[in-house]
Structure 1
Amino acid sequence: MDDTQSAINDGPQTIEMDFSFLADSTGQSGAAFGDIVNVKVNYNTIEDLIPDENNIDDGIKDDGGSVAALTSETLTGPLFTPKSELHGTVKLDDIETGEQVVVRIDVKLFCKPGSTPTGNLQADLTDARLTFINGNTPATGAISGGAQTIPLKQINDLRTPELDIQKTVTTADGTCPGVETLTVTTGNTVKYCYMVSNPGDAPLYNVNVIDDAGTPSNQTDDFTVTLSSGLTDIDGDGDADDLAAGGIATGTAMVTLSTTGAIVNTATAEGDDSFIEPTQLTDNDIATVIVEGIPSYTINKTIEGVKNPDNSPDADGIVDEAGDIIHYKIVVNNNGSSHLTGVIVTDPLLGALAGPTGDNAPMGILDAGEIWTYTGDYTVTQEDINNNGIAADSSPDNDGDIDNTATVVCSELDPLDDSEAAPIEQKASYVIDKTITDVAGKGPEGNVTGAGDVIAYQITVTNDGNIDLTNVTVTDPLLGTMTGPMGDDIAP
């Protein structure tokens, strides 16, 4: 402020200044002033962006009380559009006679990716005016700013970073880079490979990679990828998280997959284009893992009980008479991690089975974890007991039990079978009973009274066991040849 009596009388004063910045380069489009990020009076040491430069604003000559503030900021059109401008108004207060105040305005420079701008950018002081005198008394008056157009040349020398991430996947012991799509089975561990590159010609700062773990709608399981090589500390903040121009950083992550289906996994890389008021660059890439289930099933056949021929429960559960009913249960369990189709259970001894129960939608498919249950009955024959047991193919085997095998087949696996044996108890027993049926025509109670009296006898042999008896012979030395037997009427 000039050292005049008027300035002395009106001080301290407040002024406003209007600035205009080009939002597109004057030649080929691609560079723009896009945001006023800082306005102040540098009373303290300047945090200069250029090493070894003077960090004191020597032009300031005042009492240290002035404050500069941005009061408005507008863009007249989109960035990188001809004739678009960034406008800003700055207020500066506490200006007194003889003082010289330097206002610092930091404007962020934007570069259009892939462009090659030419020409220059310009910053103009378009207007200045008096707004207050004597501290807070409103006032008006134009202030001459002179020709204050400042060109920023050598636009073609601008350097910008770029960000690219490539994500692939391989097996746990595979090498990187892997492939875009990998097929594994549940429980396998895969190795995700990450390659972050900066194909630009300026550094990237604060680079990091976030993996969504294949669940884009759930951020709670996201994890940060460790980039183990390629990053350095360019900005001097003590963290090795910057990527030089043309640099490549790599990392891996091991993940065990337990859910079947296609897992589309997205990695997002982030990096700042500068370390003062940065714009964050992002890029992402996916890798797909198709997780197939492991098919597996079991079959278990059990005897649930034995009933007597009259359908009453057999207390001891032992097969000991023809007509006994053996009740079986057959359980097929899908203990794998994929569904099974074409499931059929057969049991030649039982024939048609009841079931299955436990077949939930979709019907006819044995889903992972699903259990199907079948039941069936077998009625014991006299031949089974006579033969002291039968094999699974119903042939006699004289091993003391009834063997029974159930088999399950499906489209995805080889057949499985399970057998169960019902023990047989053989009881060979008979009794003989000899009685007089007549004496000399006088009935069974008659007496022998003379020579020639005829005594009629009846001999009864009863099979009171549970198996057929063979080679049965009855002899009586007194009687000699006897008639009979009667009652042998069951084949054979």
Structure 2
Amino acid sequence: MRKKLLLMIVVAVLAVSIPVTIALIHQAYEPSNGGTADVPTDTPTTDPTLTILSMTEGNILVMKAGTDNWIETQVGMSLKVGDTIKSGSNSSAEITFFDGSTIELDADTQVEVASLNVTGTGSKTIGLKQTIGTTISRVTKLVDSSSSYEIETPACVAAVRGSVMIVDVIADGTTWVTNSRGDIWVITDGVELQIPEGRKCIVISGQLPQLVPTSYGGGGGGGGGGGFSPNPDIEITKLADRTQAHEGDTITYTYTVDNPGNVPLSSVSVTDDRIEGIIYQSGDTDNDGTLDTNETWIFAAAYNVTADDDSPLVNTAAAAGTYAGSATIIDWDTASVDILRPAIALDKTASPTEAYEGDTITYTYTITNAGNTPLSAIFVTDNEIEDVVYQSGDANEDEILDMDESWIFTADYITNVEDAGPLVNTATAYGTDALEWTVESEEATASVDILRPAVALDKTADPTEAYEGDTITYTYTMTNAGNTPLSAISVTDDEIEDITYQSGDTSEDEILDLDETWVFAASYTITAEDTSPLVNTATTYGTDALGRQVNAQASASVTIIVDIPTYGIKIELTWDTDNTDMDAHLIRPLGRYGHEIDDCHWLNENPDWGLPGVTEDNPSLNGDFLYGYGPEIITLEQPYEQGTYRYKVNYQNDHGLGPSIATVRVWINDAMVREYSKEMSNEEIWDCCSIDWPSGEVTPAEG
């Protein structure tokens, strides 16, 4: 329980005649410690509001106007508007104003000089701000209504007109005003309360001013020794039904009001700075509405905790009662409830962050208390792992996650063929507060790239058919068939040494990315030692980020063409005059020139000379060239008939262009063996040569 007083008031002290000897500023005076002190000689004598620090004892500091530093004081120091004086423990000071009024500062008191003024008509104004401590003001009589002496506190403004007044201010602003001599009135919100001489008034914010009770009989105030002395008093005890709660919970408060005095109290009420509806429950045993000295009254109220409430939630209740219409007696008590806002945070990391199938990943889970209350029953779940094990962090080994602790858990996981890349798994941490409310963290994830390196190779040859001595160009096309970039790309070939990079590294970083296609090329010349088909194999290599090398192979096949005879007899006719027509004639053994079967010529380009249904033993003319040059070629792949084959040339039509030179070339079994030339005239028939078969001997028929 504690007595609390807080209010804004105006204290008006009516004019009284107080003999005061005005201290002259430039005269010596007698300090309270018995010594003397002179006003400094450098004090301006022309300042009509000269105010000085006339006495100090112990630790007295001053903060000059416009600064923020406290400095030591000395007796005789002049004070200006805005200066602040502060007395320490077991210290005191006195300020003498320009009109001879004084104010004494007790220990632990702080006062600021707010205003000092003298008008042309002689009106005087002295204004002070007292934030804490005790002061005693001795004010000279103010002769006109325009003059004032005021002390402003957090709860009131006390105005004095020639009197002695004591002002006490505590840390929360509650103010007591004591009338040591004179007539003083307390005015609050238009309600006036006279403070009799020798009495004290308490000022509480939001309430009417109240006289502090005093005993009757004995001492000043009348009565006689041995008479009854009324001693009104009230006492409140406030309790909450719980010491901890969550947002949304309902707290029930019980208020127990007792009368420890010796007189009944009426108009008893209970208020709470956070709750409006406080309800009387029981205790008025005689139902007279008066709190008797043998009664205990019970009140109750409920409060729903909100998100705006601080923790601890401290609210204050006041019990008030009145005795015989006198001032109200008040007592206060508080109750404190811890508002629990449990929260837990989780951070998850993986090591390593790149791995292969079958590798072990170690996950580390770091748990912290993100709320305002300890948590127990801490555990972690992971959607891919069953056994997550505590490692460290419980500094006091009480199995409670305190707000300043970080707990570490770990777990191992072996990657497998079913794991996607990247492997992302999710963990959640849980904890329970003192009210058995379980909270869970936001999900924490860690990502591990599961490397599945692979490279693909395609190899092509151009041409795919060639002769001995021909050059083959090989093209090697590489792609990334895995899920991770590859470096150190190379290609080898079991038949070729020099394979050259051509294109594909679009980012120019020497890394085969997943979307790139690299091309290499090489050349090879076919030799006599090569067999058909020529098949050679290439291998490409690449290395991933963890140093694992992968490879792929590809082959290409080239057919080597060997010179095997494709025909037994081949005869070619050409001539050197354009727009002329010569005709070739091959006559079978014993056949006749110009015969429709025996003579292979332009009228009978493919006669049947061999076995029925066989084409290879029949001659074939490639065409009839009517306007010059040829060539007219007759081939007989597999001569069936043995004997002498004859070859003739007919200059069919010179079209008026005259003679032309005819040239005949003869091949036997793919080898050219004879060449003949003759200048021929229009319609001339040249009996060129004969061929004996199967010997293949060629004989010219005429020169």
Report the TM-score, using the length of structure 1 for normalisation.
0.38
TM-score, normalised to structure 2's length? 0.29
More strand by share: 2
Asked which structure has the greater RCO (Cα within 8 Å, sep 6+), the reply is: 1
Which structure is larger by alpha-carbon Rg, 1 or 2?
2
